[in-house]
Amino acid sequence: MMEAASVVNNRERLPSDLQQMVTVAKYDVLKHLRSKRLLGLVILEALLLGLTFALPLLLGVDPTDDPAGYMSAFVSWVEILVIIGATMFAGDAIVSEFQSRTGYLLFPNPVKRSTIFVGKYLSTLGIIVLMLVVYYGVAAALVFAMTGGGTLLSLYSMLLACAYGAAAAALGFLISSVFKGSTGSLVLTFFTLFMILPMIAQLLPAGSIKPWFVLTFCGHVISYIMISPYPTDLVDSISLGNGEFMEYWTYYPDIGGSLAVMGGYVLICLALGMYLFRRKEMVS
């Protein structure tokens, strides 16, 4: 075999960046499909669907006949599902190549870092979308079984959830490009999406500032779109006791603006993450 080795022009047959991107994405999807994380998420999805469906029946609560209203109960879990999905599949996507030393295998190959980055992002996005499609699909089937109908709003909600997933994953990739250890990266991704950004979105209205630019605030469109008509910003007064009142705004994200913000997060986080990944050195 060794003697028969022939000189092959390895340069000529090198695939394009796009082809290599697809290859990276394909094998990264395989990683997710064989991972315990996906299994964990599938179990979580099953639990959420099962509890949302069965608990009212077990408690003897009459379910609503309105498909949109019934679907809302399922949709209310989607934001947290996206956050967990983004944490699990994006939170250490880049840093793991360095920490687990698999970069020593991948990086000396004739493939650009940007190609690896985008390929990995596409695979993460694919898994998150798959997770959402399964969740919405099962939820829609249960809604149909219980109400005999369905609603187009659930499709819109799913598309918005996919956009939110894309933005959350991009944020995870950015954090993953900065950190040196997987644990820190996973923890920060989760707490950024689960606590830090929601806290900012909670505090800003106190200063009458609409947190339209906060990703998790924009993510609320996934649930609000199930409400008809779509809610609009409103101001409330809170009595302070001595005849004085304090105005308090309740803000709702608008759909178009939120989609634009999510798109912005995707572009900015991916551009920054890719820049950092390209500069990151494989040091022992």
Partner 1 sequence: MDTPIRVHGLTKVYGGGFRAVDALDLNVPRRSFMGFLGPNGAGKTTTIKIVTNMLSATSGRAYINGVSVMEDPKTALADVGAVVETPEFYPYLTPMETLHYLGELRGLSSCETTNRGRDLLDLVKLTDWREKRVGKFSKGMKQRLAIAQALLSQPSVIILDEPTSGLDPRGMVEVRDILKQLHKLDVTVLMSSHLLNEVQEICTDVSLINRGRLLRSGSVADLLDEVKARKIDVRTLRPLTPDMFDRLRAVPGVKGFAVTGDLSFSLDFEGEEDAQARLLIELQNLGLMVVSFKESGLALESLYMSLIMESR
CA 131, 136, 137, 143: dihedral to nearest 10 degrees? 150
Name the minimum Å distance from CB 168 to partner 1: 24
242 is an interface residue for partner 1 by CB under 8 A: no
CA 11 to chain centre: 38
CA 206/CA 81 separation, integer angstroms: 28
110 versus 243: smaller Cβ distance to partner 1: 110
180 binds partner 1 (CB under 8 A): no
Q: Is 241 in the site for partner 1 (CB under 8 A)?
A: no
Binding mask of the shown chain, residues 20 to 39, with x at each position contacting partner 1 by CB under 8 A: x--xx--x--xx--xx----
Least separation in angstroms between residue 5's CB and partner 1 is 5
Which residues does residue 236 pair with via DSSP β-bridges, in sequence order?
Answer: 248
Decide whether 53 or 98 has the Cβ nearer to partner 1.
98
User: In whole angstroms, how close is the CB of 109 to partner 1 at the nearest point?
Assistant: 5
Tell me the per-residue interface mask from 77 to 116 with partner 1, x by CB under 8 A, - otherwise. Answer: -----------------------xxxxxx-xxxxxx----
